[in-house]
Amino acid sequence: MKPSGKIEKLYYTIGEVAELFEVNASLIRFWETEFDFLNPQKNRKGNRLFTKEDINKLKLIYHLVKEKGYTLQGARDKIKNNMEDVEKQVAILDSLERIKGFMLELKKDLS
């Protein structure tokens, strides 16, 4: 029996994660030092291995710092005091992006 849906990787390299967020890998490493809840695993060579959970944590940081303009300290405080609220905001934005993509595809198909 074939699995349904998209198969996702268990681990992503820092390069893949940086590409996903359209930032430099050095920024991801910097955020790792600034946010203590972000702790990707490392292999024997010391290469970072990011899980989906790590990527979701990075989404929170990215949203607050890059999209909302928070300082690093402000983002740390917001996550510490109200992570659930930030997670909801990011989930809503993800849903809206998917809807936007669907609508643009629909528009393209109708043209």
Query: CA–CA separation, 28 vs 21, rounded Å?
Result: 9
Domain 14-110 annotated CATH 2.60.40.4070? no
pLDDT at 9: 86
Is pLDDT of 38 > 80?
A: yes
36: tokens are 């203590």
Q: How much is the pTM?
A: 0.76
Is pLDDT of 56 > 80?
A: yes
101: tokens are 């993509």
pLDDT at 2: 37
Residue 20, class by beta-carbon neighbours within 10 Å (0-12 exposed, 13-18 middle, 19+ buried)? middle
pLDDT at 94: 82
